């Protein structure tokens, strides 16, 4: 089997990261013995870490493109002191995408405090990365900040990505959503085994960012996940974002097979097609995604979740827009956002002169494609709606100039994040009706520190140039030693970490926000009465006059200036 390892810098840092470790052994019933280790906190003493725990059989050979299979109990002591490699991926979010990771990757990590008084609430993190990239490794998703609280057990997981996680023939031969099914199996694993780690299976919070947030919302809409978790935190993503669903999975599967040089790919039955794709070299399969791009790295997400037939392991049985009207589980829900979500794609276009010139050359076509208009619209309708976007966001100019560059960032933010968030909240409260219901809470992370993910989205030096961009709230939730230096432990940023982490952890503990200014009651009537249609929410913001250098305040004026425009552009009654 081909082994694709992480870049050398990744390995060197990791080898330094695991030096001078102390070991601890645990033997959960029905799992097997494992040798974990102690890790040091950021502001506190050590905690326990059990890394690289297999939760499913390796999805190799005939298990490729199938639902995950339980890992049976092992009869030896496994080494759980080292994290496993990431799931194999090609990260198109980086200026120079490379392939790394392994296909054998279905492992999870468990972190717990050394001192535990009874069972602790459990937090299960689903990493982002557009369903094609991302990592559960402690050098990317470091547990130190959360473990400093000593209040919860943290679980991070790897799940299949890209074609391996989401390729589908649209039928039972390759139903798709394998990455989501991996996550679902982790939830079941936790229900069966987390008490052995002193975790409370009755107090499980799932949380995720970007594609991970989309996944949390999809699981919330899935009746098959009933009672597997109890609170939900969705950071920068909801189930109805434009990149949530593949519209023509069989067409995409056949195109992928052609790119993998499978003969007669267009004529094979779905069973034959699936069999052939199972035998493709994994590196060839991952690189085939390049052939699905219409320009540069767009669309960022080639392989997406799909609507599948209802069954015992199905995740998405209808379009999320439909599910949001009928399938909500009654769970406390915390939704997070940042001001400049669209930076994840816009910055590299704006800061790369080659891409900027190319974008302007094909401005009409590329903007229309970036807006991901639903397939129900004709080309003429898409053209008309794109013209409205140009008028509203680009001052009527069909090219990117200094005077309207912000329009690209804003249009992607509104189309890809703000409008879906707005609509998800509207549907949430419409579905609520008169039923007994848990409230939702919301925050906007607006604190701007000295480092930003903006520096990773492009090769240009953009330090301080942009505001708080997609992923920047993660800087204050997870330590990321591979990508960023540590904040000074006495800095304002360290104080923000303490407050933000406790805000998130306390929601996991109690199902509502505490240690923050109280927000007003919310409901559909409140939403309907407000011109911006958003209830009160918390903002984390810079404040030089505050002795801490930041503050948490309540706001009721979410920037939804253009949300009504998107409501009209995407309303089926307005197909002009």
| Residues 250-269, mean pLDDT to the nearest whole number | 98
Catalytic residue among 127, 184, 440, 470: 470
Query: What structural domains does the chain harbor?
Result: 8-331 (3.40.50.1820), 343-574 (3.40.50.1820)
Q: Mean pLDDT check: name the lowest of 81-95, 177-191, 521-535.
A: 521-535
Query: Which conformational region is residue 10 in: left (phi greater than 0), alpha (psi within -120 to 50 degrees), or beta?
Result: alpha
Q: What is the mean pLDDT of the chain?
A: 92
Given a cut of 80, is residue 410 above it in pLDDT? yes
Give 70's strand partners: 56
pLDDT score for 21: 56
Map residue 335 onto helix, strand or coil: strand
> Is 470 tagged catalytic?
yes
Catalytic residue among 135, 210, 234, 452: 210
> Is 341 tagged catalytic?
yes
Query: Which conformational region is residue 20 in: left (phi greater than 0), alpha (psi within -120 to 50 degrees), or beta?
Result: left
* DSSP letters spanning 70-120: BPPPPSS-EE-SSPPPPBPEE-TTSSS--EEBBS---EEEEEEESS--S-E
pLDDT tier, 525 (very low <50, low <70, confident <90, very high otherwise) = low
Place of tokens 């982490």: 501
CA 428-179-210 angle, 5° bins: 50
DSSP state of 436: -
pLDDT score for 494: 98
Given a cut of 80, is residue 12 above it in pLDDT? no
| Residues 406-412, mean pLDDT to the nearest whole number | 97
Contacts of residue 365, defined as CB under 8 A and 6 or more positions apart, other chains included, come to none
**pLDDT top residue among 11 and 167:** 167
Nearest-CA neighbor of 296 among 379, 211, 362? 362
- The pLDDT > 70 percentage for the chain reads 92
Give residue-wise pLDDT tens across range 460-481.
889 889 999 999 999 999 999 9
Given a cut of 50, is residue 137 above it in pLDDT? yes
pLDDT score for 493: 98
Given a cut of 70, is residue 238 above it in pLDDT? yes
> What is the SS3 assignment for 257-323?
HHHCCCCCCCCCCHHHHHHHHHCCCHHHHHHHHHHHCCECCECCCCCCCCCCCCCCCCCCCCCHHHH
Q: Identify the helix (H) or strand (E) that includes residue 337.
A: strand 333-337
Given a cut of 90, is residue 245 above it in pLDDT? yes
pLDDT tier, 448 (very low <50, low <70, confident <90, very high otherwise) = very high
pLDDT score for 521: 67
Given a cut of 90, is residue 433 above it in pLDDT? no
CB neighbours of residue 436 within 10 Å: 6
| Residues 339-345, mean pLDDT to the nearest whole number | 96
Given a cut of 90, is residue 396 above it in pLDDT? yes
Task: Kindly state the tokens that stand for 249.
Answer: 């999975």
Nearest-CA neighbor of 219 among 124, 140, 129? 124
pLDDT score for 17: 47
Distance from C-alpha of 14 to C-alpha of 414, rounded to nearest angstrom:
38
Q: What is the pTM of this model?
A: 0.94
Given a cut of 60, is residue 23 above it in pLDDT? yes
pLDDT score for 8: 46
Catalytic residue among 308, 341, 493, 539: 341
Distances (CA, A) of 443 to 106, 220, 276, 289, 373: 32, 19, 47, 35, 28
Please, what is the end-to-end C-alpha distance for the chain in angstroms? 53
pLDDT tier, 429 (very low <50, low <70, confident <90, very high otherwise) = confident
Distances (CA, A) of 116 to 149, 151, 153, 197, 199: 12, 8, 10, 10, 10
DSSP state of 417: I
pLDDT score for 560: 81
CB neighbours of residue 12 within 10 Å: 11
pLDDT tier, 571 (very low <50, low <70, confident <90, very high otherwise) = confident
| Residues 261-266, mean pLDDT to the nearest whole number | 97
Contacts of residue 64, defined as CB under 8 A and 6 or more positions apart, other chains included, come to 103, 164, 277, 278
Contacts of residue 290, defined as CB under 8 A and 6 or more positions apart, other chains included, come to 90
pLDDT score for 523: 63
Give residue-wise pLDDT tens across range 360-381.
999 999 999 999 999 999 999 9
Distance from C-alpha of 418 to C-alpha of 441, rounded to nearest angstrom:
16
pLDDT tier, 428 (very low <50, low <70, confident <90, very high otherwise) = confident
pLDDT tier, 436 (very low <50, low <70, confident <90, very high otherwise) = very low
pLDDT score for 327: 73
Query: Which conformational region is residue 535 in: left (phi greater than 0), alpha (psi within -120 to 50 degrees), or beta?
Result: beta
Give residue-wise pLDDT tens across range 109-127.
999 999 999 999 999 999 9
pLDDT score for 274: 98
pLDDT score for 439: 76
Give residue-wise pLDDT tens across range 75-103.
999 999 999 999 999 999 887 899 999 99
DSSP state of 4: B
Task: Kindly state the tokens that stand for 21.
Answer: 């470790």
pLDDT tier, 18 (very low <50, low <70, confident <90, very high otherwise) = very low
> What is the SS3 assignment for 151-166?
CCEEEEECCCCHHHHH
pLDDT score for 434: 42
CA 481-300-296 angle, 5° bins: 105
CB 149 within 8 A of CB 112: no
78-105: burial string, b at 16+ Cβ within 10 Å, e else: bebbebbbbbbbbbbbeeebeebbbbbb
Q: Mean pLDDT check: name the lowest of 140-149, 236-245, 432-441.
A: 432-441
Dihedral sign computed on CA atoms, order 316, 320, 326, 328: positive
> Is 568 tagged catalytic?
no
Nearest-CA neighbor of 146 among 510, 511, 445, 501? 501
Place of tokens 């434009």: 242
């Amino acid at each position: 089997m081909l082994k694709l390892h992480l870049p050398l810098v990744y390995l060197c840092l990791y080898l330094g990261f695991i030096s001078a470790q102390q070991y601890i052994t645990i033997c959960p019933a029905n799992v097997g013995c494992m040798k974990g280790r102690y890790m040091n906190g950021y502001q506190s003493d050590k905690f326990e870490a059990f890394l690289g725990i297999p939760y499913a059989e390796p999805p190799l050979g005939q298990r490729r493109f199938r639902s995950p299979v339980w890992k049976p109990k092992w009869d030896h002591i496994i080494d759980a002191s080292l994290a496993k490699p990431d799931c194999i991926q090609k990260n198109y979010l980086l200026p120079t995408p490379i392939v790394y990771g392994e296909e054998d990757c279905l492992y999870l990590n468990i972190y717990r405090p050394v001192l535990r008084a009874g069972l602790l609430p459990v937090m299960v993190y689903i990493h982002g990365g557009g369903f094609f990239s991302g990592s559960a490794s402690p050098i990317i998703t470091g547990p130190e900040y959360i473990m400093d609280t000593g209040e919860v057990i943290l679980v991070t997981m790897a799940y299949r990505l890209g074609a391996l996680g989401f390729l589908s023939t649209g039928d039972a031969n390759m139903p798709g959503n394998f990455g989501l099914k991996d996550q679902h199996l982790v939830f079941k694993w936790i229900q069966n085994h987390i008490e052995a780690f002193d975790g409370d299976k009755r107090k499980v919070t799932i949380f995720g960012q970007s594609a991970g947030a989309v996944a949390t919302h999809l699981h919330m809409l899935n009746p098959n996940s009933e009672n597997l978790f109890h609170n939900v935190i969705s950071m920068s993503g909801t189930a109805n974002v434009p990149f949530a669903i593949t519209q023509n999975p069989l067409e995409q599967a056949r195109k992928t097979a052609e790119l993998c040089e499978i003969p007669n790919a267009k004529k094979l039955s779905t069973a034959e097609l699936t069999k052939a794709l199972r035998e493709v070299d994994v590196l060839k399969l991952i690189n085939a995604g390049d052939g699905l791009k219409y320009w540069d790295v767009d669309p960022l997400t080639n392989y997406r979740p799909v609507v599948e037939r209802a069954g015992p392991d199905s995740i998405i049985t209808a379009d999320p827009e439909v599910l949001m009207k009928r399938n909500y589980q009654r769970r406390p829900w915390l939704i997070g956002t940042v001001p400049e979500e669209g930076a994840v794609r816009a910055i590299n276009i704006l800061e790369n002169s080659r891409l900027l010139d190319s974008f302007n050359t094909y401005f009409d076509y590329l903007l229309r494609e970036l807006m991901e208009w639903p397939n129900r619209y004709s080309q003429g309708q898409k053209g008309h709606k794109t013209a409205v976007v140009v008028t509203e966001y680009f001052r009527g100019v069909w090219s990117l100039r200094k005077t309207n560059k912000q329009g690209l960032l804003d249009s992607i933010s509104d189309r890809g994040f703000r409008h879906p968030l707005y609509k998800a909240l509207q549907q949430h409260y419409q579905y609520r009706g008169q039923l007994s219901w848990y409230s939702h809470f919301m925050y906007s992370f607006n604190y701007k520190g000295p480092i930003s993910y903006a520096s990773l989205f492009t090769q240009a030096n953009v330090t301080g140039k942009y505001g708080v961009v997609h992923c920047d709230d993660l800087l204050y939730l997870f330590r990321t030693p591979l990508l960023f230096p540590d904040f000074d432990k006495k800095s304002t940023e360290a104080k923000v970490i303490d407050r933000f982490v406790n805000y998130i952890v306390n929601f996991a503990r109690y199902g509502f926000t505490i240690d923050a200014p109280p927000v007003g009651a919310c409901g559909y009537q409140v939403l309907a009465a407000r011109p911006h249609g958003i209830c009160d929410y918390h903002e984390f913001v810079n404040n030089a006059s505050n002795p801490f250098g930041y503050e948490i305040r309540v706001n009721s004026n979410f920037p939804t200036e253009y949300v009504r425009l998107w409501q009209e552009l995407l309303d089926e009654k307005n197909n002009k």
